[in-house]
Structure 1
Amino acid sequence: MVELDVIASINWNPVYGERLREMRGKVSMQHLADEVTQKFNYPVTKQYIAMIERPFGDKASKTVSFQLLRYICKILGKDVQDIFGSPKIMQKQTSHT
């Protein structure tokens, strides 16, 4: 098992992007970006969320901050493990997660 706090970034791909888009559902990218920025003091734009949901082309990010993914999932009321399908990831309980 791996503790979530030791993961800095994820090698990103279109499958993960599609899962994230499905998890977001009807929540707007702008609302999601605003919530992550306000609640977690982690600046993110709707353009960046759009890019990670559809990571195609030369300018697409090859990696995504795992912390950002955790924040996005918290806002959506989802589990970050849902993006990856498996394996199980152990989360250490702390006051700042």
Structure 2
Amino acid sequence: MIDLKMVASIYWNKHLGQKLRRLRGQQSVRAVAEKVTELGEKVSFQYIHMLEDPTRYPTAASSVSTEKLKVILEALGSNVESFLTNSAKIFLESIDSLETLD
């Protein structure tokens, strides 16, 4: 287990963006941005859109600060550890399934 206090940012990709979008569900991006602001981290709804679909925005960041992601996920009722652990597990499972096709 990695201590997230020692990690400044997380490499961001399309897969993580899709997962963030699914986690948001039917909540509006504006509502999530407002919750994040209430929790003490200022983010715009446009920033959340960029995270959800980084390939759509040519200027999208290739990483997100761990602190910012932590608060966004808290606003969505989740946490960084489970978000990333489940993402890594899914990624590894998809690699395994590709290898069995060879």
Which ranges of 4 or more aligned residues in structure 1 deviate by more than 6 Å? Answer: none
Higher RCO (C-alpha under 8 Å, 6+ residues apart): 1
> Normalising by the residue count of structure 1, what TM-score does the alignment of the two structures yield?
0.79
CA RMSD of aligned residues (A): 1.5
Which amino acid counterpart does residue 48 of structure 2 have in structure 1? I
The percentage of aligned residue pairs carrying the same residue is: 36
Matches within 5 A, 1:16-95: 16-40=16-40, 42-56=41-55, 57-84=57-84, 85=86, 86=88
Higher helix share: 2
What number of residue pairs does the alignment pair up? 86
Q: Which has the larger radius of gyration?
A: 2
Which amino acid counterpart does residue 16 of structure 1 have in structure 2? L
> Normalising by the residue count of structure 2, what TM-score does the alignment of the two structures yield?
0.75
